[in-house]
Structure 1
Amino acid sequence: MSGINPIIPGFAPDPSVVRVGEWFFLVNSTFHMFPGLPIYASQDLVNWKHIGNALHRQSQMSLKKSDTKLYPQEDTGEVLLATGGLYAPTIRYHGGIYYVICTNIVHPAEGAPDVSENFILSTKDIWANSWSDPVYFEFQGIDPSLLFDDDGKVYVHGSAAPGPFTKINLFEVDLATGKKLSDERTIWGGTGGIYPEGPHMYKRNGWYYLLISEGGTHDNHMITMARSQDIWGPYEPCPQNPILTARGTGEYIQYTGHCEAFQDQDGNWWGACLGVRKDAKGRFIMGRETFLTSGNWNGDWLSLDLVKSNIETLSSREKLSDLPQIDKPGLDILYIRDADFRRYRFDSHKNGDVTLIASKTDLSAPEESPTFMGKRQRRLCGQSLVDITLSDIAVSADVNVGLACYKDEHRYLRIFYDGSDSTVVFEVVNNAKKISQTKRTAITLSQNTGLSFKLQYTEDQYEALFRVGGKSGNPEWSLLETVDTLILTGPDFVGPVIGVFAVAETDAEVHCTSLVFDEPLAQKPH
């Protein structure tokens, strides 16, 4: 078995893995996107299938207060974009039940501190995509994990607030009710790096091993380890700390951390961690992805190998792994926060066709959900496209409709039709970098006239293209704008989602056909 990286490409941070028999199950963070907490399954750690989402009913939880806050960083001059919502889940299996434990970070009114809603979801059938309502438990922090001890006790360990000098705290819990069964105690503060977080605990040969992340989730990210023969401590740090980091190296895979250690069916040890593919100019447009690395126990301590991509040439990076398969159509469709599903009508007879009912909410809204549906950008080099037809109302309305690459309300680029002046518009917004650019070209559009949009992307650039009249009317694409992917790159938590959107003061309808997400490039970029 060999690691092919990234094993989950695109918007796939904070991986947690559990093995049950011959199957590995993996979950990632999703922050402000719904459905949340995707569940992937694999038998070989290379070929993965998206089988469900642990947060798949809006009645389970609201994500409305998951807006993105901007925090200038004094040391780098950059702006950190901290998105609320679903942080760092852990997946575990015990007694015939699968558990996902997670934090929903709620951003309340301006100036008020964040609220940590910590909760547990469960299911007896992970393949059925039917998870329980959340069981909440009291914990002022993030990144909770679970340990099922040999004596039947269950412990939660997490990163206790406030940051950046958080501590790893521990307490016993009743999973059925969320009730604390012990006092909450600090068991380790890490080795001195900021934001000790993402803890996972494993029991081996009578020792409790604690694996955590430190240094923040970007340049200084690292994995450290400590152990104790008493679950409450004291914990002695590993002499070889950090046991995994890419800081100070010239590796293409950077920011490695937030790691889950586990064994395969043959007893081999592995680490699943987040990382970014960062080129020489600082681009890491795909955001934090899930990578695999091998591990070994050298005596009393685990060591993890430096995370590598198999082939370093740009043309080969696209061939590193197959994209995750989808167990059922629609599992991988994403919406922003608390979507109004009355604004989406899917044609059950035509795969990929959808009618959007425009809303007044635009992509820049911090809490409300715009009419937008998309999928994670999985390919480093790919294209997404759509053919649209506007209804009578939409043609005469001031409707904006098109194709967008969205990260959060502060950062997106899009190509769209603006009904107010019958133009095709390219727009890019990055409030963290104080960027706001537009480019327009006039077109003539009448009822039932086809209009197509396409976004092409490589590691270093986005291209926005359009054509009027559809394939039959005008098969040639017109290039409206090209921008460097650095324009959307920066220290953040999320990744790119590409989708269609519709904005208007009226309930204008837009028919989207031939909707293609993230397919291989049909031609070389211009």
Structure 2
Amino acid sequence: MTIFEAAQSASLPELQHMVEYECQNFMERDAQGNTLLHYAARSGSVEKTAYLTEYLALNPLEANLSGVTPLDAALHSGCTAVAAYLEKQAGVRADNCFHNPVRRGFYPDPSWLRVGDDYYMVNSSFSFFPCLPIAKSRDLVHWTTVGYAITNPEWAQIAESEGGRGYWAPDISYDEATKRYYITATLRGNEGGAEPRCQMVVSAEKPEGPYGEPAWIHEDGIDPSLFHDDDGRHYMLFNREVRMVELTADCRAAKGPAKLIWGGSWKIKTEGPQLMKRDGYYYLLAAEGGTGSGHRISAARSKNIWGPYESCPYNPILRQDDAGGYLQNCGHGKLLETADGRWYLCHLCLRRRPNGTAPMGRETAIVEVTWTPDGWPIAKTRRPQTVLAMPLPAHCEEAAPAALLDWKRQEWLTQRAPENAGAAVAGKILQLTGNGRDLCDMHQQGLLLVRQQETDFTVEAELCTGPLLAAQSGTTAGLTCYYDEHSYLKFGVGPGGLLLEEYAGYEVISSKIAPLPAAEKIRLRITAGQGTRSFAVENGGAWQTLWTIPEPPYLTSEGLKCGKRFTGAMVGLYVHGDCTVSFTDWAAVWPRPEEEA
């Protein structure tokens, strides 16, 4: 009997004997990241759960690789007595907890601010359009996209951006003197371009926009942020290490050359700098260690904005040092004080699967921060937390269902800015127009995407077959699972029948054809779960599964070496052909593992 089997099915004396008389690793996890306490919690035994919690100090809120904690496991197994015990031990109520990430799916490089009782966050968008999503929340947990920093295709300058390029690491800020909101980000060009890195600044009267035409600060570096000092002066910070330049009053030009102000604490890939002022000190936060497993956040402070800066003696103030933890590669963050005086840090993270891939890419999590007696901010546990308990407002805003082509709420994206109208809604029908080019073409039109939010999901849509059956050979339209122009799959309808095509690297790696049901409208469905993806068509009122394939590794940043892969998996609709196709009843369902454990 293994120690896991004993925790779930053995008696308490048998478990005690294994713990106290046999050589065991009590921090061991199974292949899905479950601890011994997950097994005990599902057993229904309060006695075994208490033994592991009180004498081995196992954590009731330690998540497995699906984000499920022992408390979640007890609740969803119907073990109410165990759940009540774990709540008491953890000092939380399950109905007052939330699970990270709070922005699920490809939402990296977060920056945020508070406006009264409201909070606003901006994230990177890379080569996708509209650029730089802006989300609003009343409680730091539930976020709704309310705008974008750039919505004019002529201002975007990403028509030639390769996947993984485009807008990196934005920052949102407010200047009390001018009563304006600012967003800055790096426009990362292609290799060999005239200016591979340039800083963009836009401003608006409201945090959600609309934002005006971008200004360009021609300083090499990435991850810019703005700091508006109380003396009316303005500064931009960016890497390498931490450099800073003073800006003009409108923040649209530099007043002089950039200057190094801090070399970092760990001194490896110091980037993502953020500056704030508190109690007479300028506090500087920066990401270090690169965006991989070494990622972390370090802090420094100075009485003078130009330094020298003293490194925090407790650095890193946030770091994931548990290789088996649910949230990995944690760093790149910004501090925020809530309306009631608490402090939080937003930061990016990865949810890595047992095979080492992270389909959703880099996401946004938050962690509570405390200030030490000697005046330094540190994450309360120094390690990113999967589950946090916090008082939420009594009446959180519930988002109403989004319309089919509500660009903000539905969060549709295109790869690069559209060259024509591309998509339109007529009644309840979405009309998507292609330009004859395939999804591997940099200038393809006819692609609408949303971010994949969970490993397991179901997406489906109905489309009219008429224009497709009348089109030339090779034309198809339907559902796509997409990463970039180098990696995607298509499940569509065309003159030749139903098509499943996989593209990875620079070539089609698999192509399957099936007969097309005789109908004016065809409903398609893709289901991901249990390490596979299934492709089905509705035929005569019943679903017919045509193909099932292993979970595609090429739809992750780690699963394919081709170009810059810093984004995340998407799903959506496509048209490959010079025609317009009508879609109805688009739906995407993302069951959250911690809610269905």
Q: Smaller-chain TM-score range?
A: 0.7 to 0.9
The separation in 1 between residues aligned to 2:355 and 2:267, in whole angstroms, is 26
Q: Which amino acid aligns with 1:496?
A: A
Q: In structure 2, what is the Cα distance between the partners aligned to 1:213 and 1:400? A: 44
Larger fraction in strand: 1
Establish whether residue 99 from structure 1 lines up as the match of residue 182 from structure 2.
yes
The 1-side partners of 2:235 and 2:590 are apart by 44
- Which of 421, 425, 443 is matched with 2:499 structurally? 425
- Equivalents in 1 of 2:398, 2:339: separation in Å? 23
> 2:105–2:451: 8 Å Cα contact kept in structure 1?
yes
What root-mean-square deviation, in Å, do the aligned CA atoms of Structure 1 and Structure 2 show?
2.5
> Is 1:344 aligned to residue 423 of structure 2?
yes
Preserved CA contact (<8 Å) 1:394 1:510: no
State yes or no: 1:147 paired with 2:208. no
1:134 aligns to 2:214 (yes or no): yes
- 2:476 maps to 400
**Matched AA of 1:263:** E
Counterpart of 1:85 in structure 2: which amino acid?
Answer: G
The Cα offsets for residues 433-488 of structure 1, whole Å up to 9 and x where unpaired, read as x8853241331466x53222212124x5342323265xxx3422324122225442
Distance of 2:419 and 2:298 partners within structure 1: 43
1:232 equivalent among 281, 306, 319: 306
Aligned residue for 1:6?
Answer: 101
Matched, 1:37 2:132: yes
CA 1:457–1:255 in structure 2 vs 1: closer, same or farther (change >3 Å)? same
CA distance in 2, matches of 1:194, 1:400: 48
Structure 2 CA distance for partners of 1:369 and 1:43, relative to 1, 3 Å: same
Rounded Cα–Cα distance in structure 2 between residues aligned with 1:114 and 1:410: 24
Higher RCO by CA contacts (8 Å cutoff, separation 6 or greater): 1
Using the aligned pairs only, state the percent identity.
28
Output the CA distance in 1 between the equivalents of 2:399 and 2:172.
Answer: 19
In the alignment, does 2:352 pair up with 1:285?
no
The code of the aligned residue for 2:123 comes to N
1:475-490 paired onto structure 2 within 5 Å: 475-490=542-557
Residues 287 and 496, structure 1, Cα contact 8 Å, conserved in 2? yes
**CA distance in structure 2 between the partners assigned to 1:178 and 1:10 by the alignment:** 32
Match of 1:508 in 2: 579
Q: Deviations over 1:374-409 (max 9, x none)?
A: 211224432111111133464342212121111111
Amino acid at match of 2:222: I
Bigger Rg, which one? 2
Instruction: State the Cα distance separating 1:102 from its structure 2 match.
Output: 1.0
1:385 and 1:516 in contact (8 A); partners too = yes
Q: Is the Cα–Cα contact under 8 Å of residues 32 and 337 in structure 1 kept in the other structure?
A: yes
Distance 1:322 1:461, change over 3 A: farther
Superposed CA deviations along residues 27-75 of structure 1, whole A, max 9, x for unmatched, are: 000001101111111111122221111111213222113203xxxxxxx
Taking structure 1 as reference, are residues 275 and 120 closer, same or farther at Cα in structure 2, changes over 3 Å only?
same
Runs of at least 5 residues in structure 2 that lack an aligned partner in the other structure: 1-95, 389-395, 559-564, 593-597
Deviation, 1:112, is 4.5
> 1:455, 1:462 within 8 Å by CA — same for their partners in 2?
no
Task: From the superposition, tell whether residues 37 and 199 of structure 1 become closer, same or farther in structure 2 (CA, over 3 Å).
Answer: same
1:203 to 277, 286, 311: 277
2-structure distance, mates of 1:325, 1:197:
38
Task: Kindly provide the amino acid, as one letter, of the partner of residue 343 in structure 1.
Answer: G
Q: Tell me if the contact between 2:482 and 2:555 (Cα under 8 Å) persists in the aligned partners.
A: no
Counterpart CA distance in 1 for 2:421 and 2:466 is: 17
Distance change >3 Å, CA 345–CA 49, structure 1 → 2: closer
Q: Distance in 2 between matches of 1:202 and 1:482?
A: 50
Could you say which structure has the higher helix fraction?
A: 2
* Secondary structure in structure 2 of the residue aligned to 1:342: coil
1:11–1:289 contact (8 Å) kept in structure 2: yes
Distance 2:249 2:566 in 1: 29
What is the 5 A alignment of 1:363-512?
Answer: 363-365=439-441, 367-392=442-467, 394-398=469-473, 399-419=475-495, 422-431=496-505, 436-444=508-516, 449-458=520-529, 461-467=531-537, 469=539, 473-491=540-558, 492-504=565-577, 507-512=578-583
8 Å CA contact 1:6–1:290 kept in 2: the answer is yes
Q: 2:317 aligns with which of 233, 238, 243?
A: 243
1:284–1:468 CA distance, 2 compared to 1 (3 A): same
Secondary structure of 1:60's counterpart equals helix
Cα pair distance change 1:393/1:257, threshold 3 Å: closer
Name the SS for the 1:427 alignment partner: strand
Structure 2 CA distance for partners of 1:246 and 1:102, relative to 1, 3 Å: same
Quick one: structure 1 residues 174 and 2, their matched pair in 2 at CA, closer, same or farther if it must change by over 3 Å? farther
C-alpha separation in 2, matches of 1:373 and 1:396: 21
1:221/1:247 contact within 8 Å kept: no
Amino acid at match of 1:22: D
What SS does the corresponding residue of 1:29 show, helix, strand or coil?
Answer: coil
Do the aligned partners of residues 32 and 463 (structure 1) sit closer, same or farther apart at CA in structure 2, a change above 3 Å counting? same
Aligned to 1:71: none
- Name the SS of the counterpart of 1:451 in structure 2: strand
What amino acid is aligned across from residue 131 of structure 1 in structure 2? Y
Q: What residue in structure 2 maps to residue 163 of structure 1? A: none
User: How far, CA to CA, are the matches of 1:494 and 1:373 in structure 2?
Assistant: 16
Partner of 1:476, secondary structure, is: strand
Q: Distance in 2 between matches of 1:40 and 1:255?
A: 23
Is this contact kept in 2: 1:402–1:502, CA < 8 A? yes
2: CA distance, partners of 1:485 / 1:265? 44
Does the 8 Å contact 2:121/2:135 carry over to 1?
Answer: yes
Describe the superposition over 1:280-308 as per-residue Cα deviations: whole angstroms up to 9, x where unpaired: 32131111111011111112211113222
Which letter maps to 1:123? Answer: A
Say if 1:364 and 1:89 are closer, same or farther in 2 by CA, change over 3 A. same
Shift of 1:115: 2.0
Confirm or deny that 1:297 pairs with 2:371: yes
Deviation at residue 247 of structure 1 after TM alignment: 3.7
Q: 1:326 to 1:133 in 2, by over 3 A?
A: farther
Contact (CA 8 Å) 1:453, 1:466: kept in 2 or not?
yes
Structure 1 gaps, min length 5:
69-82, 160-165, 312-320, 522-526
After superposition, where does 1:317-336 map in structure 2 within 5 Å? 329-331=406-408, 332-336=411-415
**TM score, norm. by length of structure 1:** 0.84
Distance in 2 (alpha carbons) for counterparts of 1:402 and 1:275: 32
Separation in 1 of the partners of 2:463 and 2:347?
A: 39
CA 1:112–1:336 in 2, change beyond 3 Å: closer, same or farther? closer
| 1:199–1:211 CA contact under 8 A, matched in 2 | yes
CA contact (8 A) 1:385 1:454 kept: yes
Contact 1:382 1:519 in 2 (8 A): yes
| SS of equivalent to 1:143 | coil
The structure-2 alpha-carbon separation of the partners of 1:260 and 1:35, relative to structure 1 and needing over 3 Å to count, comes to same
Q: Is the 8 A contact 2:422 2:445 kept in 1?
A: no
Question: 1:193, CA displacement in angstroms?
Answer: 4.5
Q: 2:168 maps to which residue?
A: 87
Query: Alpha carbons of 1:113 and 1:219: their partners in 2 closer, same or farther (altered >3 Å)?
Result: farther
| SS in structure 2 of the partner of residue 370 of structure 1 | coil
Q: Report SS of the residue matched to 2:491.
A: strand
**Is 1:102–1:118's contact at 8 Å kept on the other side of the alignment?**
yes
Q: Structure 1 counterpart of 2:407, which letter? A: G
